[in-house]
A and B are shown apart, each in its own frame.
Chain A
Amino acid sequence: MTTNIPINTALKPKDFATDQEVRWCPGCGDYAILAAVQRALAKQGIEPHNIATVAGIGCSSRFPYYMNTYGFHSIHGRAPAIATGLKLARPDLQVWMATGDGDSLSIGGNHFIHLLRRNVDIKVLLFNNRIYGLTKGQYSPTSEFGKKTKSSPFGSVDNPFKPASLAVGAESTFLGRFIDVDAKTAADVLAAAGAHNGTAFVEIMQNCNIFNDGAWDHLSAKDVRAERTILLEHGKPMIFGEHRDKGIRLVGTKAQVVQIGENGITEADLWVHDAHDDDPAHAFILSRMEWPDFPVPVGVLRDVQRPVYDQLVQAQIVEVQAGKTPDLQALLDGRQTWTVA
């Protein structure tokens, strides 16, 4: 939430499009994400000149060139630091960040966790395609164990990150997740991220049709999506399945998939999603849920309030400055002076 920014209800997605030729590969999942973001921003109503888009390096990080906002395509992994400095300097702008699994979870891992820890008011879109695309196909920190790529011809022996688990561990106040082709969930998650006061971390399961085609097919394909993902809605029991006949039950610290109507299980036995639960333990359980053991949670996994770094910084300055006019001469003079005649 960026306060005091005027809203224009007449904005259209095309107001956020630039004249630059989009240079992602034809069929790339990034196109759908770009369209979803432009739609979400039009609906949000903050005008383009009051928005800044910052990115690192990688396919996803070309994003600012295609957004008619103030934009910064920076260097590999450093977008969180640049965005933090920008937000500290310009709290009046809404700042979005586009990044990838290599950019934020590998080379920029340090900045990424500290951004979340500080809870700077920045919206982070992590395009997770589980591969290095711009360098033409090496395994990434989210590639599955055993992944065969050009740099791992015998299979990767790297244990992958679960981005949402990392984010919870790094004290993230907002976790959203959607699949690139799921426009409906994208709209909901992006709207919630835009409205969140603090760092909003959104993991987007994105298809790289050149170097890792079908990485998310097991979840995104229309015929299986309802069975293999679960859309989380705050305050509602966790139900999924094509016939909405399955649910998640919480037993102690373990999530369990249950069949509604079997063994006496009813909706009343299911885990009710509380996105605003301050305790991160439940969010962490959600972050571990992966197919085939579980449906993968999408939607808003977590949305809690915690003091926001950039606002704390401004408040401290306002407090110190209250009732004072800075006197440069007095500062230069210091405590002890003497005069040479």
Chain B
Amino acid sequence: MSTSNAQLHSSKKAAQTRESVVIRFAGDSGDGIQLTGSQFTSASALHGNDTATFPDYPAEIRAPAGTLAGVSGFQLHFASRDIFTPGDRADVLVVMNPAALAANRKWLKPNGILIANRDAFSAKNLKMAGFTENPLDNESLSGYQLFVVDLARLTNDALSDMGLTAKEVERCKNYFALGLVFWLFDRPISVVEDDIKHKFAKKPQLKDANLRVFHAGWDYGENTELFSIRYTVPAADDIVPGKYRSISGNEATALGLIAAAHQSGRTLFYGSYPITPATDILHTLAAHKDFGVRCFQAEDEIAAICSAIGAAFGNQLATTGTSGPGVALKSEAIGLAVMTELPLVIVNVQRGGPSTGLPTKTEQADLFQAIFGRNGECPVPVIASRSPADAFECAYEACRVAMKYMTPVMLLTDGSIANGAEPWRIPDVKDLPEIKVEMLDSVEKLGGQPFEPYGRDPTTLARPWIQLGTKGLEHRIGGIEKWDKTGHISYDPANHHKMIKIRQAKVDGVAQDIGPSHLLGDDHGDVLVLAWGSTYGSCLTAVRELRAEGKSVSHLHLRWLNPLPADLEAILGRFRTVLIPEINNGQLLQVIRGKFAIDAKGYNRIAGQPLSVGEVKNAIVEHLAQ
């Protein structure tokens, strides 16, 4: 922030302190809603708040303007304490048109602040959104604090002397809204100023226009009579000290893969075919040729994973990323990687299914697919990240385990993790876990023993990773059953049985790498909330709040879904009820019931949306009461 701006934009109006605020921006998918939301997030993070976001956007790139199908939303929770969810309902809703109001009104708390862009409430837009009369002019919104702003006109006025086209002016209006809410919530404006300067560095006229509109929005809040009060959310004081940045799940996944390659001395290979919501991993990795990343945009999902398998055979850290439909296509090749015992990481950014399902919405319904979804006895370790920032550690860990055990590993994230963002305490590179990769790269290393491509490390049961191009270590691998040790093809019945047991034991052995489970709350009691993946924030917050009320409930969040932690069975046995909330029809529930023969209970809502804290609390209370 330049000094002059700091002085210029220092408010004279009173500010009320809030501990946390949930704000939701909504408009046409062409209105720049995601950009507006992410800039507000960056500013809040820099301000020292904890943040959690939930982008909620349609599958259509540009659905017809003004329609319900085209509404894009972005919800941000920012607070002066640590928070774990984007918030159940919004304190503030900013709507750019009637459709955005119609689609998002249900998320606004009673008496919440509603800021509406009047210019877009035309007869045509009202009709498209299903309104018979203008809600801004009748009593239907009286339950909210309604602020009506002529965004388009004000933007136009601010830019009238700049000689821009009507379309260029139209595209600036989201910055007016952003300026206004920056004023309203006392956000550091330098974040947006710097970003505009960076983004429009080569288009000085648009840079000036957007800066001017952003400042005009801020000034509007300060100078009109409309707003008498503003809010401030102080910096959080219970956040672990360290250096932070804001990161999305897909970005964190990509960085985790790069870091694992870097720390293991391997070259990263990423084979992928574009698919929502995983594509940003491809974008991020394609940009990092400086780290030597071999990023291969394949002709289809099958080629994406097969190219990675070829690269793994060629001794690179091979990875592939997709969503559930892509995993379905890759499943035969995953079996090949299991049979050839090559390290490989498969990222599944889960979305709503089945089939094409809800491409831009979130779901946890691919757990069965991850654990079981292949022909034959085909065990694969499965790890799931719980939040955007956690995806870094999970991706790193998936790579480490894949190379240590010579196995494909499935990493599960989901749409809300992938596109959601939160502050990430940036690890110091020297503190990252060691990844030691021992290649079999000379005949001398055999120490006089026979060369066995399917010989095994006694602890991990991993076969050697053989350096291709080594004289004397020529060998053949493939999808046909292997003779133990030699790796030659074999149809021998006893050998097949033995190899199945070995492959299973190897994957089960990954449990050695899973530390003791950490519970929130007591290690025994009425209810244990057992969960995985992106329900972390809701489950944790629900359990915290109920424990504050003295309820006997604890929370255990699984990172590894296959194998399960060795201490899990004992923990489950110390609770009267095990409750498993999931955004699926009860998949972990069936795994736990099947594995431990206990009468665990599920809470399942599969609506393409994250679970809310409120509903998880209700589900817990229901089981406490019994």
A contacts, CB < 8 Å to B: 18, 20, 47-50, 52, 54, 57, 64-65, 68-75, 78, 80-90, 92-93, 110-111, 114, 313, 316-317, 320-321, 324, 326, 328-329, 331-334, 336-341
Contacts and interface: CB of A to CB of B under 8 A. Distances in A.
5 contacts: A64-B476, A70-B476, A73-B476, A110-B303, A328-B429
A326 B307 CA distance: 25
B243 interface: yes
Contact of B469 (A65, A84, A93): A93
Nearest to B246: A336
A74 B471 contact: no
Given A74-B478, A331-B288, A337-B426, A111 B246 contact: no
A21 B242 CA distance: 63
Contact of A75 (B294, B311, B336): B336
Contacts of A341: 241
A118 B473 CA distance: 31
Given A65-B476, A110-B300, A332 B468 contact: no
A79 to B, nearest CB: 8
B265 interface: no
B469 A50 contact: yes
Contact of B242 (A82, A326, A340): A340
B290 A82 contact: no
B302 A89 contact: no
Given A336-B246, A340-B241, A20 B488 contact: yes
A90 B315 contact: yes
Contacts of A87: 310
Contact of B255 (A69, A72, A83, A331): A331
A337 B243 contact: yes
Nearest to A69: B474
Contact of A88 (B243, B309, B311, B470): B311
B472 interface: yes
A176 to B, nearest CB: 24
Contacts of A48: 474
Nearest to B259: A328
B289 A74 contact: no
Interface in B337-376: 340
Nearest to A325: B290
B263, B267, B291, B306: residue with the most chain A Cβ atoms closer than 10 Å: B306
B313 A72 contact: yes
Contact of B307 (A68, A73, A88): A88
B311 A85 contact: yes
Contact of A332 (B236, B289, B429): B429
Given A49-B473, A74-B336, A74-B479, A340 B288 contact: no
Contacts of A336: 42, 46, 191, 245-246
B308 interface: yes
B296 A321 contact: no
Given A78-B333, A331-B291, 6 more contacts: A71-B475, A75-B336, A81-B303, A81-B310, A89-B311, A326-B291
B314 A86 contact: yes
Nearest to B236: A340
A276 B259 CA distance: 46
A85 B306 contact: yes
A85 B307 contact: yes
A198 B535 CA distance: 49
Chain B interface residue number, banded = 35 or more
B468 A72 contact: no
Contacts of B480: 73
B342 to A, nearest CB: 10
Contacts of A110: 299-300, 303
B294 A89 contact: yes
A68 B451 CA distance: 14
A337 B318 CA distance: 30
**What are the 5 tightest A-B residue pairs by CB atom distance, in nearest-first order?**
A85-B310, A73-B478, A89-B314, A85-B307, A81-B306
B288 to A, nearest CB: 7
A72 B469 contact: no
A231 B243 CA distance: 71
Interface in B461-485: 468-480
B235 to A, nearest CB: 8
Contacts of A18: 476
B316 interface: yes
B154 interface: no
A339 to B, nearest CB: 5
Contacts of B489: 65, 73
Contacts of B246: 336
Given A331-B255, A338-B46, A340-B240, A90 B468 contact: yes
Nearest to B262: A328
A328 to B, nearest CB: 5
B332 interface: yes
Nearest to A310: B294
Contacts of A47: 471
B478 A338 contact: no
Nearest to B244: A338
A333 B255 CA distance: 10
Given A70-B474, A70-B475, A334-B247, A111 B311 contact: no
Nearest to A113: B299
A228 to B, nearest CB: 37
Contacts of B306: 74-75, 78, 81-82, 85, 111
Contacts of A333: 243, 245, 426
A111 B46 CA distance: 47
A231 B296 CA distance: 39
Contact of A85 (B263, B288, B308, B474): B308
Contacts of A54: 310
A17 B313 CA distance: 21
Interface centre among B48, B309, B312, B489 (most CB of A within 10 A): B309
Nearest to B300: A110
Contacts of A114: 298-299, 303
A88 B269 contact: yes
B45 interface: yes
A89 B292 contact: no
Contacts of B478: 64-65, 71-74
B225 interface: no
Given A111-B299, A336-B246, A49 B470 contact: yes
